Structure 1
């Protein structure tokens, strides 16, 4: 009995251990669901803001809008967007991405729905302003959510995922809105896309929480998220976002993002009109061929985000990797100017596709810069707001400048040459003016370790 009992106890203990998991629990993947939900919001913001670009040739006929006013209509959204981005970034730092992004979704959804009822230029411009106010919440909220939900080594891919929504939205907008207009008219198009925004806003407010508060995040994922979380603010003093302008990196991001967006927003605003007016595309061709540049941009941006993280994972300097991708992309993007030299509509579309696809190689880089160059972790949202505000000044000025030049010259030649030159200026800015070191000393030591 004295021999059998210990053996029985040993066997029972062994069985208990074999029935218990010995491996470390795998981290849950809720952070990627959050990035996907943020990206869905980006898709919808870009559908809502871009619907006007597809509908405008038909709205102009019904509402008697001349070309110079068309440029004003396209740009008016960006005026409010650029101005409100500054306080939006501060509000995200103070109240969080959940509340600011959710309320923004409600506002831009209402503005889009109401556009279906416009009867004149004044009401149209007013709703474009309200749309800009609501959508200003998107960019700083997504950057803040990425900083809160992802470790440093995954942020480029996560940023590429939600920022990819801008390209997906552009791809969807042309066939979706052109199809709705063809079947039910331009007013119905605004009703459909406005309803999408309200549905998404409700979903975001229900689902989004901080990692520490989210019920479906396990301990392993929380540990992964905080891995290398060196930029969490420890300061007790309240930072002022105005102080950001003292840094060379802030000024470089302002100029660089202005150039990036000036180029990008040609495709969001005047590109459909270019295909219709300059290259003779009808509604069917516009809906089919006009989606090609956006499809290519979806692939290049998504690939760029994962490639950048791969290079960083191999030990390359994160700042130099992200700068390198955006510089190369903007250099190639300047081929937009060559589209004016070719008589073939197909070759012109190919050049524009190369331009847009190359430009978006740098898209994931832009979203990571605020978390790199913010002097304090509590200023990430503010710097994101400043950066994106400057970029959307280009969104405001670009359509007006293009419309004015077309009114004077009667063609897109000068606007495309100007856009190519601005892309080159952006490449120079990110290569030469933007520093190779972070503005946060602790983060810079971590990046260069």
Structure 2
């Protein structure tokens, strides 16, 4: 039946953009340490093994707090949890400018992780509530791409500020960005039914186009029952492997270019942004293409699995970067690796809505999935730092990262079921209604 309510407003895309801007800023704030650490390490006398601990400490708090953060999002909503989280991580970033030793630095990294844990489950809930099924992968790619945009911006922005004013000023600038965004989110975000700028046609589109989420009338499973499902364990292991690979680029990548490939601050700021730029393009294109395949009648779960499996397999070329003699060739391989990995980024954001036992537990499953991924963010930098300390080289860390990417691809291919708790038919019905 054709609606007579006129053209739909497009507020949902503005919401996705605002959520994505938050993702950009979270990744700038968490990644500033990676660019600043070679200079902070000199000023604060931090040895390489402790540098790895500093890089990973954020992810310890992030991984632990993601579990209750997902539950809080289900109970309190994305507006409050994401907004208050933004205020918290902005304060932590600002305060990093004043650190005088390792203890205070580690404490603020923990606080940063607590605040930023609000981002992922909040964005997933916002996508579920604001977008019909056929647009959900594109929307997910839009906000998740913010992580790559943040990485691209961080290198030239932070390197430039450090060159002009020092690393302490860099933390002041990026912390202020977080506080401004948090205020904007709290003012602007509402659910579609309550948002003043959403017209009736857009509400109809959002509410009747179908959903690939678990049915709302399904009895709510207990939180611990999530772990009884094979799909939950597949998401845990698969996302661990995905993030182990991704967070090399967020943590040790700048140090690799400086220490192993001889990049100075200018080259780091310019050429170091290339892998992130490639990843921005591939992730956005992936989200768009996945939705096009689904609209044309392809099985949604198979499409999303196919993209993430193929991307992670290609991403394993990160291991080959250690074999090439030139810095340019190594950078090219790393760009291919990061770009291929992020082909699967939009898929990951849709999985919690598909595999949650109840639609009221989408945030909880998102928290579990992302918590597992950020255990990798905690362990990866420590493992890399320990191996570099023992061998004096990045060879083994890069080879290990490539192997873990392959394990992740096999996990999504073999262990993750081809049917979710919501049933694929719900997604296909939504496509058929277009």
Q: TM-score band (shorter)?
A: over 0.9
Compared CA separation, residues 23 and 284, structure 1 to 2 (3 A): same
Alignment counterpart, residue 93 of structure 1, candidates 74, 89, 96: 74
Q: Map of 1:116-131 to 2, 5 A cutoff?
A: 116-131=97-112
Q: Is the 8 A contact 2:213 2:356 kept in 1?
A: no
Matching of residue 444 in structure 1 with residue 424 in structure 2: yes
Alignment counterpart, residue 342 of structure 1, candidates 317, 324, 335: 324
1:259, CA displacement in angstroms? 0.3
Q: Is the 8 A contact 1:35 1:161 kept in 2?
A: yes
Structure 2 partner of 1:287: 269
Structure 2 partner of 1:310: 292
Matching of residue 360 in structure 1 with residue 365 in structure 2: no
Structure 2 partner of 1:158: 139
Q: Is the 8 A contact 1:239 1:378 kept in 2?
A: no
Structure 2 partner of 1:42: 23
Structure 1 partner of 2:174: 193
Compared CA separation, residues 230 and 81, structure 1 to 2 (3 A): closer
Structure 2 partner of 1:266: 248
1:444, CA displacement in angstroms? 3.1
Matching of residue 255 in structure 1 with residue 237 in structure 2: yes
Superposition misfits of 4+ residues, deviation over 6 angstroms: none
Deviation per residue, 1:53-107 (Å, 9 max, x gap): 0000000000000000000000000000000000000000000000000000000
Deviation per residue, 1:5-56 (Å, 9 max, x gap): xxxxxxxxxxxxxxxxx96410000000000000000000000000000000
Structure 1 partner of 2:416: 434
1:385, CA displacement in angstroms? 0.1
Q: Is the 8 A contact 1:255 1:390 kept in 2?
A: yes
Alignment counterpart, residue 94 of structure 2, candidates 72, 92, 113: 113
Structure 2 partner of 1:218: 199
1:237, CA displacement in angstroms? 5.3
Counterpart-to-counterpart distance in 2, 1:107 and 1:422: 33
Structure 2 partner of 1:389: 371
1:239, CA displacement in angstroms? 3.3
Counterpart-to-counterpart distance in 2, 1:229 and 1:54: 41
Deviation per residue, 1:170-228 (Å, 9 max, x gap): 00000000000000000000000000000000000000001000000000000100121
Structure 2 partner of 1:18: none
Alignment counterpart, residue 302 of structure 2, candidates 320, 323, 328: 320
Structure 2 partner of 1:422: 404
Structure showing greater radius of gyration is 1
1:445, CA displacement in angstroms? 2.9
Q: Is the 8 A contact 1:107 1:131 kept in 2?
A: yes
Compared CA separation, residues 432 and 230, structure 1 to 2 (3 A): closer
Counterpart-to-counterpart distance in 1, 2:260 and 2:106: 26
Compared CA separation, residues 127 and 432, structure 1 to 2 (3 A): same
Structure 2 partner of 1:52: 33
Q: Is the 8 A contact 2:218 2:358 kept in 1?
A: no
Gapped regions of structure 1 (runs ≥ 5): 1-21
Q: Is the 8 A contact 2:220 2:357 kept in 1?
A: no
Q: Is the 8 A contact 1:249 1:439 kept in 2?
A: no
Gapped regions of structure 2 (runs ≥ 5): 430-434
Counterpart-to-counterpart distance in 2, 1:240 and 1:130: 29
Taking structure 2 as the reference length, the TM-score comes to 0.97
Structure 2 partner of 1:16: none
Compared CA separation, residues 236 and 296, structure 1 to 2 (3 A): closer
Counterpart-to-counterpart distance in 2, 1:233 and 1:205: 29
Matching of residue 243 in structure 1 with residue 228 in structure 2: no
Counterpart-to-counterpart distance in 2, 1:336 and 1:118: 34
Q: Is the 8 A contact 1:67 1:407 kept in 2?
A: yes
Q: Is the 8 A contact 2:74 2:361 kept in 1?
A: yes
Counterpart-to-counterpart distance in 1, 2:130 and 2:5: 21
Matching of residue 142 in structure 1 with residue 106 in structure 2: no
Q: Is the 8 A contact 1:261 1:395 kept in 2?
A: yes
SS at match of 1:47: helix
Deviation per residue, 1:320-351 (Å, 9 max, x gap): 00000000000000000000111111000000
Structure 1 partner of 2:432: none
Counterpart-to-counterpart distance in 1, 2:302 and 2:4: 37
